[in-house]
Each structure stands twice: as C-alpha cells, then as structure tokens.
C-alpha cells in the first residue's frame, strides 16, 4: 500500500509502543543480568510448557466458542434489563483471582450448590478439579470479555447491511454466512490471542482447580525458579518463553484477521429482521439464561458470603479501598494516555508491530516484571516509595491489550470513513483526534477506561513485591485477612472490592451503554 | 512518566521527615506486618524502649524474603531479617550477609538450638486440621488408606507445603514415594499458599487441611469456636522454627542487637501466640494464653537440621511431584 495522507500521525503511538516494549524487555533483561546460576529447560519445564499451552488453548477456544452464541443472542434480542445484564456479565473478569476461585468453588465445588442439588437426587458431588476445572475457571473469567468484544463487532456492522439482507429475503443462515461470518473472521482471532495470552500466565487458578502438580504452568515454574531454586536466569528464560508464545499467538491472530471491513454506513441504529420466529427466540433466550446463570451464580455466592461482614469491616480495609481507588484512577489515566495514541497509529493501517507490542503486557509474568522493575529502580530510589506508581503502571500495561481490542476496530472505521474528508479540510493531528476520532470513540473509550479501572482495582499484581505496611491495596488487604484466619472479613472485603470494581466499571462504561443500544 | 515522579515524590515526603531519630529496618513476611499480625504491637512496644523508629517491611513470605535479600545484597537497607525458617537457613548463610548474634538465650523449644547466626522467635508443628466431631486418621498410612479428602499446599510456592514434604521425607525416608502415591487419591487439590487451602477447607471442599497444631487455638480464642481440631500423627510432627538474624552490613548494629534481645523478651514473646498463632520461643512469665492447653502436643518432634534439609529438598520434591502426578 502506497503512503497516502493520513489524518493522524503514528509518531506518538510508536513512542508509546516502544516504551511498553522497553519496560517489559528491560525488566526481563534486568532479571537475566542478575542471574548467577542457570540451567536449561528440564523435563518438568517441558511438561509445564505442554500443560500451559494445552490449558490456555482450550480456555481460549471454549471462551470464544461459547461467547459467539451469547453475543449473537444479545445482538438479536432487545429485552428489559438487557443493558444491566451486559454490564453485570462483565464482573467476573474484574475480580481478583482468589476471590473468584472461591466463588466458583461455592457453586461448582465438591460441597458447592450444584453438588448439594445432585446430592438430593442421590448423585455423587461434582468433580471440578482437573483440566476441565481449569478451563471452567478460565471460561468464567474470559467469557464475559469475549462476549463484549464480539457483541461490539456485531454492533459495528452498519445497520444498512441488515436492512438490505432483510429486503433481499436472506434467511438466518444466509445472514450468518454473508454478514456475520466475515465479521467474526475479523474479530475472533485477536480475541482468541488475547485470551490465550492471559491464560498463559495463569498460576493460582490453574494449580488450585487443576487438582495437583500435573497442573503446573510456566508461571508456577517461574515462581519455583525465583523462590525455591533462587535461579533468576531460569526465571528470565521461562518468562522469555511465555513472551515468545504470546508473540506467536498474536502474529497468527493478526494474519488470520486480515481482510477488509464492511465499509461505511450512515451510523444508523442497527435493527434486525431475522430470527423473529419462535424457535430462534427460544434458543436465544436459553443461551442468554444459561450464560447468565453460569456467570452470575458464583457472584451471588460471593455476595451472600460477604454480606454479613460487609458493614463491620475493620477500618484498615476501608483505607486500603481508598488506596485502591487512587491506584485505579492513575492506572486509568495512564492506560488512556497509552492506548489512544496506539489505537490511532494502528488505525492508519499498518500497525502489526504496534499491536504485538500492545499484547506483550499480558504475557509478561508479573513476578518477573515486578522483580525487574525493582532491580532497575533500586540504584536510584527506594522501591517502596514507588509501590503505587509502579503498580498503576504495570496494571495499565496489562489492560492495554484489552483496550486496544476495544478501541482499534472502531478507530480503524473512523479513520477510513472520515480520514479523507478531514485531510482535504486540512484537519490533522490533534484537531482530528479531538473533533472527529475521540467523539466517535466515546463508547469504546468508556469501556476501555472501565476495564482499566476495574482490573487495576482488583489486581494483586506487583504490589506484593513492593508492599509497604502502610500502603496496602484492597486485594493485598484481602490476602492479609485470609492469612490471619479472618476468612469471614476477607469475604466481606472481597464483596467491597466487587462493588468498587464494578462501580468504577459501571460509571466509566456508561458511555458504552448509551452507544447504539449496546 | 511525569505522573510517576510526581506520585513517588508525594509518597516519599512522609518518610524523609523522620530521618532524625535512628531507624532500625526489619524485613519480615507480610502477615507479620499486617494489622492482624504481631507487627503493630511489636513496633509500639519496641519504640517505647529503644528511642528509635522501627521500620517493619513486609515481603510476602520467608522464601520471598530470602530472594529479596539475595537481590539487594550488602547494600540492603535491612538491619534485621525476621521470618526465615530452617529450610532456608543454609541458603541464607551462603549469602554471607548475616552476622552472628552473640547471645545465649534459654529457649523453650522441644529441640536443641545452637545456631550462632539465627535466633528462633517462634515455632509450631505442622498438622492436618479437621472438624472436631469427625474422626481423624492417626498417621499418614491410615490417611492414605482412608477416603478422607485433604487440601495441601505446593512446596514450590508455600512454606507449609514445603513443611509437609519434609515431614513425609523425615518420617518415612525411602518409603516417602510410596506414601505420596498412596495419598494421591486423597488430595482434592494443591494450592499456591496456605490461605487458599484453608479457605477451601472452611468452604467444606475437604475433610482436612494442612496447617498447624495451633490453628484450632485461633478458632477457640478469637472466635470462641471449638469446632476445629488438629489430628495427632503417631510418626511424629514436623516442626517449623522461625528465625531472625542481623545483617553484617547493618548501620545500626547496637540497635539490631537490642532488637534481637527484645525479640526474646516477655513483651515480644507474649504478643506472638495470639497474633502469629505459633508457640513463643521463650514461654513468657504468664504462660501461654488460655486455650493453648487444649491443643494437641505431639509425642515426637521431627526436624531436619538446616544442612540435612538443604540436601534432602530437591530429591524430596521429585518424589512429591512423581507421587502426586499419578
């Protein structure tokens, strides 16, 4: 493609991407350079690698395969409470891991609700521990995100397409083949890659639900290298393997997702004429009900177990909550400052490298990044004083891949549709961003900011490496309560976290819900 | 990056202001400094006698603490490291960062303690905790043959998990692989740390969880709940002895010595039982808190010396992994 005039410059996006890559590879290098010993990958590492790829691959496949019918049903149906449902379905994604796992166990565990119901019928309890348990938990975390992103893909199909298809008498299958399938082909690969990447670094979930050491992931091997063998070289090497896998998955996704979009429409509200018969309606209803049940029951279990102590929580929990809100706010600002220039640069058309840089944040082991940053900061300053800024920055980098998935498709359309007109009016750079791109990305920016705030609120991340007794975030305080036997208060604090994360997400995502009935 | 610099300056302003009084920095594990751990009371009590500022820094757990010391080396701000255990002592000594304590305290440990560098401040026995009204097996073989479900921790990421691995190795030696194979069908799952395992147990996911003989004391004393008990195993119980040492490169050597002496005083030792939920290394004058007398006291205490523990560790891990991967 020959260079043509573009309304946005790629410079700032390139700088941000280079910065993200520099932080991740710099931290990795800092760890590698501090290595004293070091040995190659042993048999157990290869086993960990195989299990990691297997579980991450299956988790990504199942999350997306299940998200497609849910998103399709939500795209086709309009019902009371639909917006609330879409927003609430996002909740599992933003929960801290340990809390969500306990919630899942309360429903699907050996003594969970499901097992109790089975017990009434004289059946044995559910065997949730094993590879299927790991996949179940990862689907629980990632199905909502996949659904939201695919739903967004559906909403970005110009309404005219459906109108035309309906006029031409296209049936459900033709509608799927002609309009929906090309959209999915563009949207799904990158979602698969993002979920694959996030599951690559899974450790506590995989181990707990995997039922034993067979469920050893690379992240656990990294942990072992750090904490059991004190072998930084091996930790760095394993982390490099993680990054390599993610880059391969990301590149594959970009290659699969190539192809043109739907071109322009008139920004009309999307109306569907297909699927109005009784059977599709019933099916869509069942799909939505099942997904809602699967995602909401564990949340309900968590709420019920947290309610009794919510109002009597110790004061330290509330000050930790304030700290978390502060970290989440900084994180959100940082994220937008990184994601918007990158999305604008990618929207110009050839942003493959930028997208790959954006996905790195997910694959980088928090332990390696945290340790690397610790090594880098220490000669200059007391790392403890940097606990909150570093946590906020690392959280923002972690959310970046999701934010790009949210922002890029729409940004690409806007640049394609409005770019030429803007260039001909000599409206480029900041004025284009401010008057054309950002207003049209309002919904997506809200969604991305909501994700950033909520994820940052719930992420334990690197704070444990930098923890200062006086500066605890809420997730850290939950772990401290659990470590002090106070499981009941921990459940209350977890509910508080759920409410805060979800509240932040809800507030920022409001724009998203206003967008074309999303 | 401007945000970062701004926020960092904001945060460090508070710490600069108190540079006048001498500061003693103690690196310890996170649950020690938490609001529910011994940290706040220890800080208040020591600052009342030392005319100094006690700066407690919490770093995850014992293994992370040692990893941190290895990273920071001799330039570390730490004057004292508190919270390693016998499994980490050899690796800690190899760093050459620690100095001899030069004290000869009378300790109330069930074993001899003569280490010139590391001083114990508390100890406990690992044990499987269960509901008091349920029957419990009385050794590993009975457990393996029973249909009791257990939750344990991974020795690669957790101190109690490592303790259990050493327990089986010490009690059974070459028979350890067979014990792990026998236990494989009893293990519901293996968790990253103690909190996850204990949480799963309280949710009813397993009949027993690996913890300490002192765990029921928490439920009894803090929650007035006598429903938890620890199973006494007749092959003996493996011990955890938690230790502290001062750094050779400390810029406050006298204060560090004063802290180590304070650590074994009645004040510090009296705080330990109901905050760290472990036995104090020196029984305070008033004795143990009411409720501790109800706890199981093992007939036999098992503990490998630091050197034995260091050399047994890697082979024991292989046996653990192989046995449980069946």
- Tens-digit pLDDT profile for residues A84-100: 888 777 777 777 777 78
**pLDDT band for position B8 (cuts 50, 70, 90):** very low
Q: Is A2 a residue whose pLDDT tops 80?
A: no
Over residues A413-462, the pLDDT tens digits come to: 888 877 777 777 777 777 787 788 888 888 889 888 998 898 888 776 67
β-bridge mates for residue A471, sequence order: A468
Of A388, A465, A484, the CB nearest to B7: A388
Q: Is A518 a residue whose pLDDT tops 50?
A: no
Are B189 and A210 a contacting pair at CB < 8 A?
yes
Mean confidence (pLDDT) of chain A: 83
**Top-confidence residue, A39 or B27:** B27
Pairwise CA distance, residues B237 & B111, whole Å:
13
Write down the pLDDT at residue A354: 81
**Top-confidence residue, A107 or A201:** A107
- Percent of chain A surpassing pLDDT 90: 18
Are A213 and B188 a contacting pair at CB < 8 A?
no
Beta-carbon contacts of A476 under 8 Å, excluding residues fewer than 6 positions away, are A320, A460, A463, A464, A467, B30
Which residues of B are less than 8 Å from A384 in CB distance?
57
Q: Is B14 a residue whose pLDDT tops 60?
A: no
Q: In the Cβ-directed half-sphere of A421, how many Cα atoms lie within 13 Å?
A: 8
Instruction: List, as ranges, residues 151-180 from B with C-beta within 8 Å of A.
Output: 154-157
Q: Is B45 a residue whose pLDDT tops 50?
A: yes
Q: Is B294 a residue whose pLDDT tops 90?
A: yes
A124 touches chain B (CB under 8 A): no
β-bridge mates for residue B84, sequence order: B243
**Top-confidence residue, A464 or B142:** B142
Measure A117 CA to nearest chain B CA, in Å.
Answer: 15
A298 touches chain B (CB under 8 A): no
Arithmetic mean of pLDDT, A63-84: 89
Task: Tell me what percent of chain A is helix, strand and coil, each rounded to the nearest 5.
Answer: 80, 0, 20
The secondary structure element, H or E, covering residue A121 is none
Q: Is B82 a residue whose pLDDT tops 70?
A: yes
Of B3, B58, B157, the CB nearest to A389: B3
pTM above 0.90, yes or no: no
Write down the pLDDT at residue A393: 87
Which residues of B are less than 8 Å from A476 in CB distance?
30
**pLDDT band for position A515 (cuts 50, 70, 90):** very low
- Percent of chain A surpassing pLDDT 70: 90
Write down the pLDDT at residue B1: 39
Secondary structure of residue B121 in the 3-state scheme: strand
- Percent of chain B surpassing pLDDT 70: 94
A314 touches chain B (CB under 8 A): yes
Arithmetic mean of pLDDT, A66-74: 92
**Considering all CA atoms of chain A, what is the largest pairwise distance in Å, rounded to the nearest integer?**
74
Write down the pLDDT at residue A274: 64
Measure B186 CA to nearest chain A CA, in Å.
Answer: 11
B63 touches chain A (CB under 8 A): yes
Write down the pLDDT at residue A261: 56
Are B215 and A485 a contacting pair at CB < 8 A?
yes
Which residues of B are less than 8 Å from A375 in CB distance?
71
Q: Is B72 a residue whose pLDDT tops 60?
A: yes
Which residues of A are less than 8 Å from B39 in CB distance?
469
Q: Is A512 a residue whose pLDDT tops 60?
A: no
Instruction: List, as ranges, residues 333-352 from A with C-beta within 8 Å of B.
Output: 333-334
Of B11, B60, B71, the CB nearest to A388: B11
B17 touches chain A (CB under 8 A): no
Phi-psi region of A275 (alpha: psi -120 to 50; beta: other; left: phi over 0): left
A234 touches chain B (CB under 8 A): no
Which residues of B are less than 8 Å from A374 in CB distance?
71
Pairwise CA distance, residues B264 & B120, whole Å:
9
Pairwise CA distance, residues A153 & A405, whole Å:
10
The secondary structure element, H or E, covering residue B54 is strand B53-58
Secondary structure of residue B83 in the 3-state scheme: strand
Arithmetic mean of pLDDT, A162-176: 78
Arithmetic mean of pLDDT, B3-16: 45
Arithmetic mean of pLDDT, B5-17: 45
Q: Is A517 a residue whose pLDDT tops 50?
A: no
Pairwise CA distance, residues B135 & B247, whole Å:
47
B70 touches chain A (CB under 8 A): yes
Instruction: List, as ranges, residues 196-225 from B with C-beta within 8 Å of A.
Output: 196, 198-200, 202-206, 215, 218-219, 222
Lowest mean pLDDT among A14-28, A34-48, A330-344, B270-284: A34-48
A129 touches chain B (CB under 8 A): yes
Phi-psi region of B139 (alpha: psi -120 to 50; beta: other; left: phi over 0): beta
Pairwise CA distance, residues A414 & A7, whole Å:
11
Beta-carbon contacts of A393 under 8 Å, excluding residues fewer than 6 positions away, are A23, A331, A334, B4
Phi-psi region of A404 (alpha: psi -120 to 50; beta: other; left: phi over 0): alpha
Write down the pLDDT at residue B252: 93
Pairwise CA distance, residues A491 & B199, whole Å:
10
Write down the pLDDT at residue B149: 95
Q: Is A143 a residue whose pLDDT tops 50?
A: yes
Are A385 and B8 a contacting pair at CB < 8 A?
yes
Alpha helices in A215-365 (DSSP H): 218-227, 232-256, 278-310, 315-347, 352-363
Are A228 and B320 a contacting pair at CB < 8 A?
no
Secondary structure of residue A204 in the 3-state scheme: helix
A321 touches chain B (CB under 8 A): no
Over residues A242-280, the pLDDT tens digits come to: 888 888 888 888 787 765 555 555 555 566 666 667 788
Over residues B97-134, the pLDDT tens digits come to: 999 999 888 999 999 999 999 999 999 999 999 999 99
Of B66, B187, B206, the CB nearest to A212: B187
The secondary structure element, H or E, covering residue A191 is helix A181-200
Are B71 and A34 a contacting pair at CB < 8 A?
yes
| A318: phi then psi, degrees, rounded to nearest 5 | -70, -35
Arithmetic mean of pLDDT, A169-176: 77
Q: Using alpha carbons only, how large is chain A's radius of gyration in Å?
A: 23
Nearest in space to B247 (alpha carbons), one of B49, B57, B95: B95
Q: Is B2 a residue whose pLDDT tops 60?
A: no
Of A106, A227, A386, the CB nearest to B64: A227
Arithmetic mean of pLDDT, A110-124: 90
Arithmetic mean of pLDDT, A169-186: 81
Task: Retrieve residue A21's tokens.
Answer: 């890559």
**pLDDT band for position A372 (cuts 50, 70, 90):** confident
Distance between the two ends of chain B, CA-based, in angstroms?
A: 51
A301 touches chain B (CB under 8 A): no
Write down the pLDDT at residue A264: 55
Q: Is A362 a residue whose pLDDT tops 60?
A: yes
Lowest mean pLDDT among A352-356, B111-115, B228-232: A352-356
By C-alpha distance, the chain A residue nearest B194 is A483
Write down the pLDDT at residue A473: 86
By C-alpha distance, the chain A residue nearest B215 is A485
By C-alpha distance, the chain B residue nearest A471 is B11
**Top-confidence residue, A282 or A428:** A282
Measure A461 CA to nearest chain B CA, in Å.
Answer: 13
B274 touches chain A (CB under 8 A): no
On whether ipTM exceeds 0.90, the answer is no
B15 touches chain A (CB under 8 A): yes
Which residues of B are less than 8 Å from A210 in CB distance?
189
B257 touches chain A (CB under 8 A): no
Of A212, A389, A464, the CB nearest to B325: A212
Site of tokens 């609001």: B35
A460 touches chain B (CB under 8 A): no
Pairwise CA distance, residues A436 & A389, whole Å:
32
């Amino acid at each position: 493609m020959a260079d043509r005039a573009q309304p946005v410059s790629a410079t700032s996006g390139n700088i941000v991407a280079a910065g993200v890559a520099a932080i991740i590879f710099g931290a990795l290098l800092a760890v590698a350079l501090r290595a004293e010993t070091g040995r190659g990958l042993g048999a157990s590492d290869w086993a960990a690698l195989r299990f990691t790829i297997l579980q991450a691959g299956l988790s990504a496949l199942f999350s997306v395969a299940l998200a497609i019918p849910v998103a399709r049903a939500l795209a086709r149906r309009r019902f009371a409470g639909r917006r609330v449902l879409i927003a609430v379905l996002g909740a599992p994604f933003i929960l801290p891991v340990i809390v969500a796992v306990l919630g899942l166990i309360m429903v699907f565990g050996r003594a969970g609700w499901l097992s109790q119901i089975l017990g009434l019928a004289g059946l044995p309890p559910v065997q949730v521990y094993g590879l299927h348990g790991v996949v179940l938990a990862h689907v629980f975390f990632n199905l909502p995100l996949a659904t939201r992103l695919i739903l967004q893909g559906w909403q970005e199909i110009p309404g005219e397409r459906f109108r035309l298809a309906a006029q031409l008498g296209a049936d459900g299958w033709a509608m799927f083949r002609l309009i929906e399938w090309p959209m999915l082909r563009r949207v799904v690969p990158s979602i698969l890659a993002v979920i694959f990447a996030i599951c690559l670094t899974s450790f506590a979930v995989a181990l707990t639900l995997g039922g034993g050491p067979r469920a050893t992931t690379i992240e656990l091997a990294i942990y072992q290298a750090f904490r059991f063998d004190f072998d930084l070289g091996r930790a760095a090497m394993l982390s490099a393997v993680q990054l390599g896998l993610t880059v391969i998955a990301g590149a594959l996704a970009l290659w699969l997702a190539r192809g043109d979009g739907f071109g322009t429409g008139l920004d009309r509200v999307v109306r569907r004429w297909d699927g109005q018969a009784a059977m599709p309606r019933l099916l869509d209803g069942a799909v939505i009900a099942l997904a809602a049940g699967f995602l909401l029951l564990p949340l309900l279990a968590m709420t019920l177990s947290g309610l009794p102590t919510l109002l009597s929580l110790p004061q330290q929990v509330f000050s930790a909550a304030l700290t978390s809100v502060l970290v989440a706010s900084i994180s959100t600002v940082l994220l937008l400052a990184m994601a918007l220039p990158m999305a604008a640069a990618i929207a110009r058309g050839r942003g493959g490298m930028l997208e790959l840089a954006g996905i790195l944040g997910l694959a980088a082991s928090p332990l390696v990044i945290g340790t690397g940053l610790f090594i880098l900061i220490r000669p200059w300053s007391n790392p403890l004083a940097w606990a909150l800024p570093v946590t906020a920055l690392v959280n923002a980098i972690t959310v970046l891949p999701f934010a790009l998935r949210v922002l890029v498709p729409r940004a690409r359309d806007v640049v394609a549709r409005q770019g030429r007109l803007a260039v001909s009016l000599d409206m480029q750079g900041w004025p284009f961003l401010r008057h054309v791109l950002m207003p049209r990305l309002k919904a997506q920016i809200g969604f991305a900011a909501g994700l950033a705030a909520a994820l940052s609120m719930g992420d334990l991340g690197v704070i444990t490496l930098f923890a200062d007794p006086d500066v605890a975030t809420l997730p850290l305080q939950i772990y401290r309560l659990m470590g002090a036997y106070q499981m009941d208060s921990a459940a209350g604090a977890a509910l508080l976290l759920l409410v805060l994360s979800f509240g932040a997400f809800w507030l920022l995502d409001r724009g998203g819900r206003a967008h074309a009935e999303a | 990056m401007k945000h970062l610099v701004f926020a960092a300056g904001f945060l460090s302003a508070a710490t600069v202001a108190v540079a006048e009084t001498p500061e003693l920095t103690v690196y310890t594990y996170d649950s020690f400094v938490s609001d529910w751990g011994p940290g706040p009371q220890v800080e208040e009590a020591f600052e009342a006698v030392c005319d100094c500022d006690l700066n407690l820094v919490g770093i995850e757990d014992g293994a992370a603490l040692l990893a941190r010391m290895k990273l920071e080396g001799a330039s570390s701000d730490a004057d004292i490291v508190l919270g390693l255990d016998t499994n980490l002592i050899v690796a800690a000594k190899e760093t050459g960062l620690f100095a001899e304590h030069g004290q000869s305290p009378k300790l109330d440990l069930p074993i001899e303690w003569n280490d010139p560098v590391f001083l114990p401040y508390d100890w406990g026995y690992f044990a499987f905790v269960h509901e008091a009204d349920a029957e419990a097996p009385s050794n590993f073989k009975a457990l393996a043959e029973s249909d009791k479900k257990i939750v344990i921790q991974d020795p690669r990421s957790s101190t109690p998990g490592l303790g259990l691995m050493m327990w089986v190795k010490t009690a059974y030696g070459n028979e350890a692989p067979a014990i792990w194979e026998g236990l494989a069908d009893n293990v519901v799952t293996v968790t990253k740390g103690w909190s996850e395992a204990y949480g799963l147990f309280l949710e009813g996911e397993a009949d027993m969880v690996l913890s300490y003989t002192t765990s029921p004391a928490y439920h009894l004393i803090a929650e007035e709940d006598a429903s938890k008990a620890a199973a006494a195993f007749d092959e003996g119980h493996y011990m955890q002895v938690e230790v502290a040492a001062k750094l050779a490169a400390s810029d406050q050597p006298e204060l560090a010595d004063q802290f180590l002496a304070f650590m074994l005083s009645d004040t510090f030792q009296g705080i330990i039982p109901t905050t760290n939920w472990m036995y104090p290394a020196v029984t305070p004058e008033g004795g143990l808190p009411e409720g501790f007398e109800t706890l199981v006291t093992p007939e036999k205490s098992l503990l490998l010396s630091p050197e034995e523990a260091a050399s047994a560790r890697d082979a024991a891990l292989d046996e653990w992994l192989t046995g449980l991967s069946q």
